[in-house]
């Protein structure tokens, strides 16, 4: 980032000039960008100007552009999404506005589903009961939310920095201070980073409000994926391969629940709600099933003997072992974990003592110790997460 340019841009009242002037200025910037490109000056400057131009055309035309769009406008120039993200944040920061004032959003998708109703500023009403989810409108378009009988909010997130969602959650927190908000993210450094982003707001976007300090980190945690990772044999004294290990019981108790619960859990339907926010298309396979199935199953407890009987079957079921879904950390993951550990310890005198920070640090340590990570999919059953949610969200309360 060329520092000399920033004050002049910031002082140019870019956002205040009339649209025609903006367009003219945009064209000039564009020409300048091309020129600068020819003479091979600092790439960062060219990229920055390019983003200014794209933001300007978005503002002029009244459209919204995603950071992903920007990247694909000129992949060769931007090289990576991260570079775009950073420059967009820099631009917003420099101008002292929130990012969406530039008509730039982090990602195009973000779905919400559950018994809530959104009232838009233009008096349109959106019912979110559609089990396939509806797209979350930008927060500035929402005037009011009717939460009806919603009992909690569940955030399912696969990709980082999703400002619309962060702001939506923040608004939900303000409107309904007592509504529990849970997050489920991948068990890897990025997942923890995303969860923390929702909890504390993004560091780069400290001027935006989007923090839900009391966000509950539901998973995926090391305990969820490692309690079933048993080897073979359970005989105390040792000797030969014996019965299925006891730990197996925990994670499978709900399989039966789901089957039995289907016919009888309807009274639960009216009291459970979920908001799911899959920002990428890969999620849409798993998530749309979620609210429907969860309501179907409802909370039931299994007797110990039932779960044990089932666990024996489980051991032999092919592909049923969470151990097999564990992934190995890449060297990037490990570096990221170290960066995050350093961030967690920054500004503190010696050791971390805040329990929630310690919790994050511990998960990162365990990840590094075992050199494993797991995606949200590790705990689902063929794309269906309802069993897991039954156990950790409904039964866990």
Tokens of 312: 């024996």
Residue (20 or 342) nearer to other proteins, CB: 342
DSSP letter assigned to residue 136: P
Task: Tell me the window of 72-80, 194-202, 227-235, 312-320 that interacts with other proteins (CB under 8 A).
Answer: 227-235
Task: Tell me the window of 79-87, 134-142, 307-315, 323-331 that interacts with other proteins (CB under 8 A).
Answer: 323-331
Q: How far is the CB of 248 from other proteins (least distance, A)?
A: 9
Q: How far is the CB of 195 from other proteins (least distance, A)?
A: 19
CA distance 137 to 180: 22
Q: Which residues contact 247 (CB under 8 A, 6 or more apart)?
A: 227, 228, 229, 230
Judge whether 198 and 339 are in contact, CB under 8 Å: no
Residue 371 contacts other proteins per CB under 8 A = yes
Catalytic residues: 72
Residue 323 contacts other proteins per CB under 8 A = yes
Q: How far is the CB of 220 from other proteins (least distance, A)?
A: 17
Instruction: Draw the binding track, 197-226, toward other proteins (x: CB under 8 A; -: no contact).
Output: -----------------------------x
Residue 319 contacts other proteins per CB under 8 A = no
- The residue from 38, 76, 123, 351 that contacts other proteins (CB under 8 A) is 351
CA distance 257 to 301: 7
Residue (2 or 233) nearer to other proteins, CB: 233
Directed axis angle between helix 19-38 and helix 43-61, to 10°? 160
Host H or E run for residue 32:
helix 19-38
Q: Which residues contact 315 (CB under 8 A, 6 or more apart)?
A: 244, 248
Residue 267 contacts other proteins per CB under 8 A = no
Residues in 327-346 at the binding interface with other proteins, rule: CB under 8 A: 328-329, 331, 334-335, 337-338, 341-342, 344-345
**Pairing mode, strands 134-135 and 111-112:** antiparallel
Task: Tell me the window of 98-106, 281-289, 324-332, 387-395 that interacts with other proteins (CB under 8 A).
Answer: 324-332
Which residue in 70, 150, 132 sits closest to 103, CA to CA?
Answer: 70
Backbone angles phi, psi at 84, to 5 degrees: -60, -50
Check whether the bond before 386 is cis (ω within 30° of 0): no
- The residue from 62, 240, 267, 281 that contacts other proteins (CB under 8 A) is 240
- The residue from 11, 18, 231, 347 that contacts other proteins (CB under 8 A) is 231
Residue 362 contacts other proteins per CB under 8 A = yes
Q: Which residues contact 9 (CB under 8 A, 6 or more apart)?
A: 52, 94, 95
Residue 361 contacts other proteins per CB under 8 A = yes
Residue 233 contacts other proteins per CB under 8 A = yes
Which residue in 76, 162, 141, 150 sits closest to 115, CA to CA?
Answer: 150
Binding site for other proteins (CB under 8 A): 226, 229-241, 245-247, 323, 328-329, 331, 334-335, 337-338, 341-342, 344-345, 350-353, 358, 361-362, 365-366, 368-369, 371
């Amino acid at each position: 980032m060329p520092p000399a340019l920033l004050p002049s841009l910031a002082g140019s009242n870019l956002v205040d000039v009339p649209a025609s002037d903006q367009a003219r200025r945009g064209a000039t910037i564009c020409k300048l960008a091309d020129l600068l490109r020819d003479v091979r000056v600092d790439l960062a400057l060219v990229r920055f100007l390019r983003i200014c131009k794209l933001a300007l055309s978005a503002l002029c035309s009244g459209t919204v552009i995603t950071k992903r769009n920007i990247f694909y406008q000129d992949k060769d120039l931007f090289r990576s999404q991260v570079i775009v993200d950073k420059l967009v944040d820099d631009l917003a920061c420099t101008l002292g506005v929130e990012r969406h004032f530039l008509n730039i959003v982090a990602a195009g998708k973000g779905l919400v589903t559950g018994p809530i109703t959104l009232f838009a500023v233009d008096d349109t009403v959106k019912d979110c009961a559609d089990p396939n989810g509806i797209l979350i409108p930008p927060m500035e378009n929402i005037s009011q939310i009717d939460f009806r009988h919603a009992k909690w909010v569940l955030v399912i997130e696969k990709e980082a920095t999703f400002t619309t969602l962060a702001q939506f959650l923040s608004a939900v927190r303000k409107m309904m201070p007592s509504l529990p908000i849970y997050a489920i993210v991948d068990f890897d450094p990025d997942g923890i980073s995303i969860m923390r982003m929702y909890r504390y707001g993004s560091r780069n976007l400290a001027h935006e409000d989007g923090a839900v300090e009391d966000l509950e980190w539901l998973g995926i945690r090391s305990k969820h994926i490692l309690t079933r990772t048993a080897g073979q044999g359970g005989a105390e004294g040792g000797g030969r391969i014996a019965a299925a290990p006891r730990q197996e019981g925990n994670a499978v108790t709900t399989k039966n629940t789901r089957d039995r619960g289907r016919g009888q859990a309807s009274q639960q339907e009216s009291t459970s709600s979920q908001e799911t926010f899959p920002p990428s298309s890969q999620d849409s396979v798993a998530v749309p099933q979620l609210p429907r199935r969860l309501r179907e199953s409802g909370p039931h407890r299994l007797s110990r003997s039932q779960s044990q009987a089932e666990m024996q079957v489980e051991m032999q079921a092919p592909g049923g072992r969470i151990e097999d879904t564990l992934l190995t950390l890449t060297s990037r993951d490990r570096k990221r974990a170290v960066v995050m550990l350093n961030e967690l310890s920054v500004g503190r005198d010696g050791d971390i003592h805040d329990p929630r920070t310690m919790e994050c640090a511990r998960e990162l340590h365990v990840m590094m110790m075992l050199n494993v990570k797991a995606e949200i999919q590790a705990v689902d059953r063929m794309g269906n997460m309802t069993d897991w949610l039954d156990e950790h969200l409904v039964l866990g309360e």
